[in-house]
Amino acid sequence: GATIGILGGGQLGRMLSVAASRLGFKCHIFEPGANPPAGHVADAVTTASYEDDAALRAFADAVDVITYEFENIPTSALDLLETLRPIRPGREALRVSQDRLVEKEFLAGLGLKTAPFADVASRADLDTAMETAGVPGILKTRRFGYDGKGQARIMEVSDADAAFEAMAGAPAILEGFVDFSHEVSVIAARGVNGEVACFDPGENVHRDGILHTTTLPARLSGAQRTDAVLLAGQILNALDYVGVMGVELFVTPKGLIVNEIAPRVHNSGHWTQDGCVVDQFEQHIRAVAGWPLGDGSRHSNVEMLNLIGDDMDQVPELAKDPAVALHLYGKAEVKAGRKMGHANRVLGAA
């Protein structure tokens, strides 16, 4: 059988490994950190830095196709790996999603609605940006932000100095605040032959900048549902994408606004494990392996609850609930803000 190489050994790599193994593939993880969650389920793990060319070469030699669980893979490693094996999703998806400014320009270039945004390379830029993108707004680092990290809110103009300091010299963008009623996301997939399949949009609630729950079905009109799925397909096609992507959307009276895209399986797609015949992890493996895709249809309504830090205390109670499926990541140490697992509560037939 073929071997799938996965860059990154966190919980997403772990759940991708489980799905790959269920389809008869072998899995090889590349991860700089010791004792990664994916290490317990994968067939092989390379523990090495992304600067270690020899380790990258040996990893590529051992696999048939390379995919990843996070978008911030160093460019130098990708430059080497792409000469050795196919990388799916491809470089263009990474280039676009690694930088919030490039991403916003790409989305706007497709004619999709985004928050008003402006480049902030200097303190003087921020003054201009507050006029063009608006206040209140959120200053965000262009690169490396996740779970609301690398962001500072500007509620009034006098917050500008503190927000700029918080970026610690990193290039940033200012986004005008979007007045949304709620947040949804589409988990979409595209195969090697260009076929597209989308899961139904889920409704997301964040707490302290981190995803808290995803609920299916989302509160959306039929027209909004169609719009969400069509715009996701447009993004995938524009990138000649192969794999699963998460598309985060704000729902507003003026339509759907794209917040950001993630070129990988996505936390807001974990509900598919207990709501669909083919979940997002199997879907991603099918796509990168060149298989036909599952159609994305949902057999059950689900509420996904993230278990973050001390939320793990709820596990004994959740385990008694016959409607709940637990997915725990096997992380040795509980830390505040760390994603330890999730619980999918099946709400009934869809």
Per CB under 6 A, 206 contacts ligand ATP: yes
Choice between 3 and 98, CB closer to ligand ATP: 98
Q: Which does 177 bind (CB under 5 to 8 A by kind): Mg ion, ligand ATP, none?
A: ligand ATP
Helix, coil or strand: residue 257:
strand
Q: How many CB atoms lie within 10 A of CB 147?
A: 16
Q: Is 203 annotated as a binding residue?
A: no
Sequence-distant (≥ 6) Cβ neighbours of residue 224 within 8 angstroms: 251, 256
Per CB under 6 A, 146 contacts ligand ATP: yes
Q: Is 119 annotated as a binding residue?
A: no
DSSP characters over 16-69:
HHHHHHHTT-EEEEE-SSSS-GGGGTSSEEE---TT-HHHHHHHHHH-SEEEES
Q: Which of 99, 200, 203, 260 binds ligand ATP (CB under 6 A)?
A: 260
Angle between helices 280-288 and 11-22 (to 10 degrees): 70
Distance of CA 296 to the CA centre of its chain: 17
Q: Is 295 annotated as a binding residue?
A: no
Per CB under 6 A, 259 contacts ligand ATP: yes
Choice between 204 and 272, CB closer to Mg ion: 204
Strand 44-46 and strand 26-30: pairing?
parallel
Smallest separation, CB 259 to ligand ATP (Å)? 5
Piece of 18-26, 177-185, 219-227, 254-262 that binds Mg ion (CB under 5 A): 254-262
DSSP characters over 258-307:
EEEEESS--GGGTTHHHHBSS-HHHHHHHHHTTPPPP---BSEEEEEEEE
Choice between 66 and 178, CB closer to ligand ATP: 178
What is the residue whose two structure tokens read 């899995």? Answer: 27
Per CB under 6 A, 148 contacts ligand ATP: yes
Per CB under 6 A, 335 contacts ligand ATP: no
Task: Write out the two tokens for 308.
Answer: 């973050």
Smallest separation, CB 25 to Mg ion (Å)? 28
Q: Is 149 annotated as a binding residue?
A: yes
Choice between 46 and 97, CB closer to Mg ion: 97
Q: Is 100 annotated as a binding residue?
A: yes
Q: Which does 209 bind (CB under 5 to 8 A by kind): Mg ion, ligand ATP, none?
A: ligand ATP
Choice between 206 and 299, CB closer to ligand ATP: 206
Rg (CA), the chain: 20
Q: Which does 207 bind (CB under 5 to 8 A by kind): ligand ATP, Mg ion, none?
A: none
Beta bridge partner(s), residue 326: 343
Beta bridge partner(s), residue 252: 255
List residues binding ligand ATP (CB under 6 A). Answer: 115, 138, 145-149, 175, 177-178, 183, 206, 209, 248, 259-260
Which residues here bind Mg ion, judged by CB under 5 A? 248, 260
Which positions make up the binding site for ATP? 100, 140, 145-151, 175-178, 183, 206, 259-260
